[in-house]
Amino acid sequence: MITRIAAHRDLPRSLEQGSEGPETPIQVVLRVRPMSAAELRRGQQSVLHCSGTRTLQVSPPGGGPEVAFRFGAVLDAARTQEDVFRACGVRRLGELALRGFSCTVFTFGQTGSGKTYTLTGPPPQGEGVPVPPSLAGIMQRTFAWLLDRVQHLGAPVTLRASYLEIYNEQVRDLLSLGSPRPLPVRWNKTQGFYVERLRVVEFRSLEALMELLQIGLSRRRSSAHTLNQASSRSHALLTLYISHQTAQQMPPVDPGAPPVGGKLCFVDLAGSEKVAATGSRGELMLEANSINRSLLALGHCISLLLDPQRKQSHIPFRDSKLTKLLADSLGGRGVTLMVACVSPSAQCLPETLSTLRYASRAQRVTTRPQAPKSAVAKQPQRLETEMLQLQEENRRLQFQLDQMDSKGKKRTSCRIAKTWPGMSSASWPSRSMH
Ligand SMILES: Nc1ncnc2c1ncn2[C@@H]1O[C@H](COP(=O)(O)OP(=O)(O)OP(=O)(O)O)[C@@H](O)[C@H]1O
């Protein structure tokens, strides 16, 4: 059985307390992928063992001392995509985004550790060969949940999406109408850093959103190297913007800036790589250097955020496009979840330890979540708090029911499959826990 992380469970109530929210740590979930066929062929040993639901034990080959790391949740190689989605508590983030908060889910780990698989599932195995719904990633599952949730909200909501990649330190619009041109990153007081002239597309159905995802995935740069046949060569950010039509929205301060309102951003970071291990040469090596540099800048910001002497204004977010665009998620007013991905193989141990240390540091970083001052945020607080508490209670009961009642999973699959045509209820992932 796995536990859901306490991910922001008490946030709604605590966020009601003031104009600026309480300090909230970045939540970290760790996912260990299964051994790959190549690793098994080479007879590589697994050096990672999950102990309980929150601790990962690392046993170095040759009998060195064991090291343990503790995270919000630790998911071993047997966990399904649905287990991961549930354990991450992404629905909770979705609820906060619906209330105007800015929420981010980002994956982190070395190349080939399963970041893209976790967010969007595996690539299709061939032209016209659909990926089984049971392998859909966190993003597709969140999309299905969000569209269903909005449909039952009873209040008109406008949903929009943007999708960009940072490739060799240039921002490219993955949804641009023509061929993508580099876009500038700007800053203003209300929105912080944002990408100017980024195409933001309104969508009204799950199918339309899935199409935008497919367009972006097909345009994102990827290449093959020794450790991954389909390695992402860029950081990709898909953002969902949620605005309540009844609320009096603040117009964007700068023309060309993204809409104001709730946000849910999914960030698939490119993986750190040792070029000696991946065999990258030429263009691949330039890409790898750019990826490593931006991840280093991110790690530097995380380390400085942990220094209590350091004032927020001194964090060098301006050092890379990635840190600019993640500034609010890491040190600002956002609510953030990091999914750290690792390989169990002994050969990857140095990179795995580096990911584990990076993730351990990240979970000590805190933000101060705050919804923008819109009419939504000014609605009568008591009623809204009560409604959220009831919804949370409802979800908790539903979760318990799912575990107790084996029929529950069939019922739920049917409901979700209806919102995602092309997915039969039989093929929709099981919701049972292991
Ligand atoms: N949990 C998993 N179960 C089964 N296969 C997985 C899992 N995680 C990853 N894989 C497989 O491992 C390979 C590498 O995964 P993926 O491309 O997601 O890695 P990545 O961390 O995004 O790499 P990169 O940083 O190079 O883009 C893929 O073939 C993927 O299908």
Which atom of ligand 1 has the smallest separation from the CA of 77? 1
Which atom of ligand 1 has the smallest separation from the CA of 225? 26
Residue finishing a domain among 370, 392, 412: 370
45 lies in some domain: no
Residue 393 shares a structural domain with residue 306: no
Range with lowest mean pLDDT among 2-11, 52-61, 127-136, 351-360:
2-11
d(C-alpha 142, C-alpha 93), whole Å: 10
pLDDT, position 283: 80
Q: 21 pLDDT exceeds 70?
A: no
Mean pLDDT of 139-160: 94
pLDDT, position 403: 59
Beta strand spans in 120-261 (E): 157-167, 170-173, 182-183, 185-188, 192-195, 201-203, 222-225, 228-232, 235-244
Q: 430 pLDDT exceeds 90?
A: no
| CA distances (Å), origin 321, targets 13, 231, 241, 385 | 34, 20, 20, 37
116 in ligand 1 pocket by Cβ < 6 Å? yes
33 in ligand 1 pocket by Cβ < 6 Å? yes
Is residue 249 very low, low, confident or very high in pLDDT (cuts 50, 70, 90)? low
Mean pLDDT of 238-259: 71
Distance in Å, CA 324 to ligand 1 centroid: 27
According to DSSP, residue 44 is labeled: P
Mean pLDDT of 317-339: 92
246 lies in some domain: yes
Residue finishing a domain among 349, 370, 391: 370
Find out whether 8 and 317 touch, Cβ atoms under 8 Å. Answer: no
State the total domains in the chain: 2
pLDDT, position 428: 30
| Containing structural domain, residue 426 | 380-434
Residue 232 shares a structural domain with residue 262: yes
pLDDT in tens, 109-118: 999 999 999 9
| CA distances (Å), origin 291, targets 177, 199, 285, 294, 395 | 26, 24, 10, 5, 39
Instruction: Please give the share of the chain, as a percent, with pLDDT higher than 90.
Output: 55
Residue 114 shares a structural domain with residue 213: yes
Mean pLDDT of 6-16: 44
Task: Give every strand in the sheet of 55-58, ordered side by side.
Answer: 48-51, 55-58, 67-70
67 lies in some domain: no
pLDDT, position 432: 27
Residue 312 shares a structural domain with residue 396: no
Is residue 186 very low, low, confident or very high in pLDDT (cuts 50, 70, 90)? very high
95 lies in some domain: yes
Range with lowest mean pLDDT among 51-55, 78-82, 413-417:
413-417
123 in ligand 1 pocket by Cβ < 6 Å? no
216 in ligand 1 pocket by Cβ < 6 Å? no
Distance in Å, CA 74 to ligand 1 centroid: 17
d(C-alpha 87, C-alpha 74), whole Å: 9
Quick check: helix, strand or coil at residue 239?
strand
d(C-alpha 305, C-alpha 11), whole Å: 21
Task: Fill in the amino acid letter for 336.
Answer: T
Mean pLDDT over the full length of the chain: 82
Instruction: Please give the share of the chain, as a percent, with pLDDT higher than 70.
Output: 76
d(C-alpha 198, C-alpha 217), whole Å: 17
Mean pLDDT of 49-69: 92
Residue 139 shares a structural domain with residue 288: yes
pLDDT in tens, 65-95: 899 999 999 999 999 999 999 999 999 999 9
Which atom of ligand 1 has the smallest separation from the CA of 271? 25
pLDDT in tens, 341-396: 999 999 999 999 999 999 999 999 988 888 766 544 444 444 555 555 566 566 66
Q: 162 pLDDT exceeds 90?
A: yes
pLDDT, position 73: 97
145 lies in some domain: yes
Distance in Å, CA 334 to ligand 1 centroid: 28
58 lies in some domain: no
* 321 φ/ψ angles, rounded to the nearest 5 degrees: -65, -40
Is residue 293 exposed (0-12), middle (13-18) or buried (19+ Cβ within 10 Å)?
middle
pLDDT, position 312: 57
Residue 400 shares a structural domain with residue 362: no
Quick check: helix, strand or coil at residue 424?
coil
Is residue 173 exposed (0-12), middle (13-18) or buried (19+ Cβ within 10 Å)?
buried
d(C-alpha 172, C-alpha 220), whole Å: 9
Mean pLDDT of 127-142: 93
Residue 413 shares a structural domain with residue 362: no
* Best CA proximity match to 239, nearest among 271, 204, 199, 190: 199
240 lies in some domain: yes
Helix/strand number for the chain, H first, E second: 13, 19
122 in ligand 1 pocket by Cβ < 6 Å? yes
Residue 152 shares a structural domain with residue 270: yes
Q: What are 241's strand-pairing partners?
A: 160, 263
Distance in Å, CA 35 to ligand 1 centroid: 10
- In 229-348, where does DSSP find H-type helix? 275-278, 282-305, 321-331
Q: 96 pLDDT exceeds 60?
A: yes
d(C-alpha 238, C-alpha 162), whole Å: 6
pLDDT, position 411: 43
Query: At 234, which CATH number?
Result: 3.40.850.10
Range with lowest mean pLDDT among 257-266, 394-403, 414-423:
414-423
pLDDT, position 56: 98
Residue 194 shares a structural domain with residue 313: yes
Which atom of ligand 1 has the smallest separation from the CA of 79? 1
d(C-alpha 256, C-alpha 199), whole Å: 9
Find out whether 225 and 287 touch, Cβ atoms under 8 Å. Answer: no
Which atom of ligand 1 has the smallest separation from the CA of 122? 31
Q: Whose CA is nearest to atom 10 of ligand 1?
A: 114
Residue 364 shares a structural domain with residue 242: yes
pLDDT, position 15: 42
pLDDT, position 83: 97
Which atom of ligand 1 has the smallest separation from the CA of 81? 1
HSE on the CB side for 49, CA within 13 Å?
Answer: 10
Angle between helical axes of 321-331 and 282-305 (0-180°, round to 10): 30
How is residue 30 written in tokens? 């760790």
Q: 274 pLDDT exceeds 90?
A: no
Distance in Å, CA 112 to ligand 1 centroid: 5
Q: 314 pLDDT exceeds 90?
A: no
Residue 202 shares a structural domain with residue 304: yes
Find out whether 115 and 341 touch, Cβ atoms under 8 Å. Answer: yes
Distance in Å, CA 376 to ligand 1 centroid: 40
Higher confidence at residue 37 or residue 332? 37
Q: Whose CA is nearest to atom 15 of ligand 1?
A: 114
Q: 213 pLDDT exceeds 50?
A: yes
Higher confidence at residue 306 or residue 403? 306
Find out whether 73 and 89 touch, Cβ atoms under 8 Å. Answer: no
CA angle 126, 90, 229 (to 5 degrees): 25
Q: 310 pLDDT exceeds 90?
A: no
pLDDT, position 17: 39
112 in ligand 1 pocket by Cβ < 6 Å? yes
Quick check: helix, strand or coil at residue 126?
coil
Residue 303 shares a structural domain with residue 420: no
294 in ligand 1 pocket by Cβ < 6 Å? no
397 in ligand 1 pocket by Cβ < 6 Å? no
Range with lowest mean pLDDT among 132-146, 185-199, 274-288, 370-384:
370-384
Q: Among 75, 221, 228, 278, which is best to mutate for testing ligand 1, by the most ligand atoms less than 8 A from CB?
A: 228
Stated as kind and residue range, the H or E segment containing 178 is: none
218 lies in some domain: yes
Task: Fill in the amino acid letter for 383.
Answer: L
115 in ligand 1 pocket by Cβ < 6 Å? yes
Quick check: helix, strand or coil at residue 337?
strand
Quick check: helix, strand or coil at residue 109?
coil
Residue finishing a domain among 350, 370, 390: 370
| CA distances (Å), origin 198, targets 104, 165, 194, 366 | 18, 11, 9, 29
